[in-house]
């Protein structure tokens, strides 16, 4: 029986006449990377044979050939002098007219003390103490908190933690001073900066704009010089931090040899909504206390100790579109209670603004390999009417680090999906949302501080900051690391607990 079975068993299995499934046997991402490197370095590959031919020809020249070449140049002395003069003029004009490089010397994020700690349960208890919310809307806020991506270690201003809460203009000023001065004090300590050397001051805070202004409060507290160029940006939403950086860049182009101090913050004390309009209650659940101070300079002598150089600042404003304009609005409800409404179209509006922004930014940062693929897809769709999916460029080839405004879990999920990013790329944003909440325009800096604390920033790395704000706006800033950031030498709000992160953030938190 065994012999019969062996006799009928073929020595080789029959062929299936099918080709291998290359989608399974070959990782297509490596094919794409190969294409990227081939296109990126294609110029060098083409020039190498030409350089080799020229070098081979030069090696055959004899002293007599060189002598004859020199004689020819002597007879064409006027042409040589003219060409040399033209080259000198062109180089001089380029040096004089080129933009001054803008360096980020250092930055500092404010970390409130334990007295300002606000757990989810504390938030709900304080909300109930106000007596302003119905039981249904207290439960609504609880459900929002559970799915928000926030943790139990965020911070709230003193006025809203008091029993009972006592928001007032005086308390709002106190919150602003605590955050701004705390961030600036830390920055001055890190940089050993003298306040008299600061020539430009820009403060951005969207919802709190007292008189005297926030910038005036800083000038008074630190006794800044009388001819300082100071600006106070209000009502520009969570993306105003990048707007402030762009304004500082433009001012540094016309004020040589100086420093610019940028302060990004938001104020909650007078902007806690005490009504029952659900479109305004979401903001209550997400926004928390925080702020950042950033020192920029155009001095070449600062390059050596600076952390980053600003490469690009791209701003997109969709305010001309009525739907975009009304997507985030500060207004009174039916009972006269002031709050910020978030429309149901907000996610679609944010996606459209991001698309416009990256369309402008892409040619500035993407490698030629990605631009060719995008152009080919566009030509196929528009010219040949081919049914092709829109090509989403691989921004992972342009940037090593992503700092996406921690506005909420839903925003981060959509950006991760649409830009084909990984969990590691979104880690700084998700951990910032979990640990500090939505700190408005300063959230980008908590995210950069997280990346530094993890020791991930190496010399030459590129960082993309993306901010979204009312109006509606999407703004980007691109930075290049000038040196490797060593965590052991850093002082930032993550350092004493960075080993605990990343943490697993539940889709629905229980408290």
Partners of residue 341 on adjacent β-strands: 329
240 and 206 Cβ atoms separated by less than 8 Å: yes
Exposure string over 245-277, b if 16+ CB within 10 A, otherwise e? bbbbbebbeeeeebbbbbbbbbbbbbbbbbbbb
* pLDDT score of 374 more than 80: no
Q: Given this model, what pLDDT does residue 23 score?
A: 40
Domain for residue 15, yes or no? no
Mean pLDDT over 352-373 rounds to: 88
Average pLDDT, the chain: 88
pLDDT for 11 beyond 80: no
pLDDT class of 394 with cuts at 50, 70, 90: confident
For the cut 70, the answer to whether the pLDDT of residue 136 exceeds it is: yes
Residue 362 has pLDDT above 60, yes or no: yes
Q: What are phi and psi of 353, to 5 degrees?
A: -65, -40
For 48-57, what is the mean pLDDT? Answer: 76
Q: Is residue 61 part of a domain?
A: no
What's the CA gap between 297 and 262, in Å, rounded? 11
Res. 75 pLDDT band, cuts 50 70 90: low
pLDDT over 90 at 89, yes or no: no
pLDDT value at residue 381: 75
pLDDT of residue 24: 42
- pLDDT tens by residue, 256-308: 999 999 999 999 999 999 999 999 999 999 999 999 999 999 999 999 999 99
Taking the C-alpha atoms of residue 293 and residue 108, their distance in angstroms, rounded to an integer, is: 5
Confidence of residue 337 (pLDDT cuts 50, 70, 90): very high
Q: What is the 3-state secondary structure (H, E, C) of 392-442?
A: CCCHHHCCCEEEECCCCHHHHHHHHHHCCCCHHHHHHHHHHHHHHCECHHH
- Whether residue 495 is predicted with pLDDT greater than 90 in this model: the reply is yes
Q: Is 316 helix (H, G, I), strand (E, B) or coil?
A: strand
Q: Answer yes or no: is pLDDT of 478 > 60.
A: yes
pLDDT for 16 beyond 80: no
Q: What's residue 45's pLDDT?
A: 62
Distance CA 182, CA 115 (A): 15
Q: Is the pLDDT of residue 133 over 90?
A: yes
Q: Looking at the domain assignment, is residue 127 inside a domain?
A: yes
CATH of residue 250: 3.40.47.10
Q: Is the pLDDT of residue 29 over 60?
A: no
pLDDT of residue 373: 81
The pLDDT of residue 225 is 96
Q: What percent of the chain has pLDDT over 90?
A: 72
- Whether residue 55 lies inside any domain: the answer is no
pLDDT score at 58? 73
Domain assignment present for residue 16? The answer is no
Question: What is this structure's pTM?
Answer: 0.84
Residue 15 DSSP label: P
Is 155 within the bounds of a domain?
A: yes
Task: Give the dihedral of Cα atoms 231, 408, 157, 219; nearest 10 deg.
Answer: -10
> Which of 376, 341, 309 is closest to 99 using CA atoms?
309
Model confidence at 247: pLDDT above 90: yes
Judge whether residue 367 has pLDDT over 60. yes
pLDDT above 60: residue 1? no
pLDDT at 28 over 50: no
Per DSSP, the residues of 322-359 read HHHHTSEEEEE-TTS-EEEEE-TTHHHHHHHHHHHHHH
Average pLDDT over residues 88-106: 82
353's tokens: 């603004």
The residue segments making up the domain with residue 388 are 103-500
Half-sphere exposure of 283 (CA within 13 A, CB side): 29
Within-domain flag for 315: yes
Percent of the chain clearing pLDDT 70 (strictly above): 88
What is the pLDDT averaged over residues 89-98? 73
Residue 94: is its pLDDT beyond 70?
Answer: no
Q: Virtual CA dihedral for 438, 441, 446, 447, nearest 10 degrees?
A: 90
Number of domains in the chain: 1
pLDDT at 26 exceeding the cut of 80: no
Confidence band (pLDDT; 50, 70, 90) for 96?
A: low
Residue 12 inside a domain? The answer is no
């Amino acid at each position: 029986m065994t012999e019969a079975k062996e006799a009928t068993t073929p020595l080789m299995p029959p062929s299936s006449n099918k080709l291998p499934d290359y989608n399974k046997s070959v990782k297509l991402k490596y094919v794409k990377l190969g294409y990227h490197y081939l296109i990126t370095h294609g110029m060098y590959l083409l020039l190498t044979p030409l350089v080799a031919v020229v070098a081979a020809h030069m090696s055959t020249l004899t002293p007599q050939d060189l002598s004859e070449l020199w004689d020819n140049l002597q007879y064409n002395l006027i042409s040589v002098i003219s060409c040399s003069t033209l080259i000198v003029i062109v180089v001089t004009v380029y040096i004089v007219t080129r933009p001054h490089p803008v360096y980020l010397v250092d930055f500092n994020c404010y970390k409130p003390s334990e007295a300002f700690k606000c757990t989810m349960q504390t938030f709900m208890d304080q909300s109930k103490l106000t007596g302003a919310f119905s039981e249904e809307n207290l439960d609504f806020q609880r459900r929002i908190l559970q799915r928000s991506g926030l943790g139990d270690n965020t911070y709230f201003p003193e006025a809203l933690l008091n029993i009972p809460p006592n928001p007032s203009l005086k308390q709002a000023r106190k919150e602003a001073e605590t955050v701004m001065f705390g961030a600036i004090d830390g920055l001055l300590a890190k940089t050993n900066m003298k306040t008299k050397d600061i020539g430009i001051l820009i403060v951005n805070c969207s919802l709190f704009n007292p008189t005297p202004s926030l910038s005036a409060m800083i000038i008074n507290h630190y006794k800044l010089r009388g001819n300082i160029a100071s600006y106070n940006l209000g009502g520009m939403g969570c993306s105003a931090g990048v707007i402030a950086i762009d304004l500082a860049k433009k001012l540094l182009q016309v004020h040589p040899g100086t420093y610019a101090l940028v302060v990004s913050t938001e104020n909650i004390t007078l902007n806690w909504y005490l009504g029952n309009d659900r479109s305004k209650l979401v903001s209550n659940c997400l926004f928390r206390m925080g702020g950042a101070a950033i020192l920029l300079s155009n001095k070449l002598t600062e390059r050596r100790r600076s952390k980053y150089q600003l490469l690009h600042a791209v701003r997109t404003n969709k305010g001309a579109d009525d739907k975009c304009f009304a997507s985030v609005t500060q207004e009174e409800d039916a009972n006269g209670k002031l709050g910020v409404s978030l429309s149901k179209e907000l996610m679609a509006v944010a996606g459209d603004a991001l698309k416009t922004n990256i369309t402008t930014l892409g040619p500035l940062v993407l490698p030629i390999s990605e631009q060719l693929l995008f152009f080919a897809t566009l030509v196929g769709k528009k010219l040949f009417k081919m049914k092709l999916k829109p090509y989403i460029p691989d921004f992972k080839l342009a940037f090593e680090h992503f700092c996406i405004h921690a506005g909420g879990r839903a925003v981060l999920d959509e950006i991760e999906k649409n830009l084909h990013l990984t969990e590691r790329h979104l880690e700084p944003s998700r951990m910032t949302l979990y640990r500090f909440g939505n700190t408005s325009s300063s959230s980008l800096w908590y995210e950069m501080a997280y990346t530094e604390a993890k020791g991930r920033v190496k010399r030459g790395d590129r960082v993309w900051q993306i901010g979204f704000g009312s109006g509606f706006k999407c703004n980007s800033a691109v930075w290049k690391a000038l040196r490797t950031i060593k965590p052991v030498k850093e002082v930032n709000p993550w350092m004493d607990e960075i080993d605990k992160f990343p943490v697993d953030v539940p889709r629905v938190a229980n408290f």
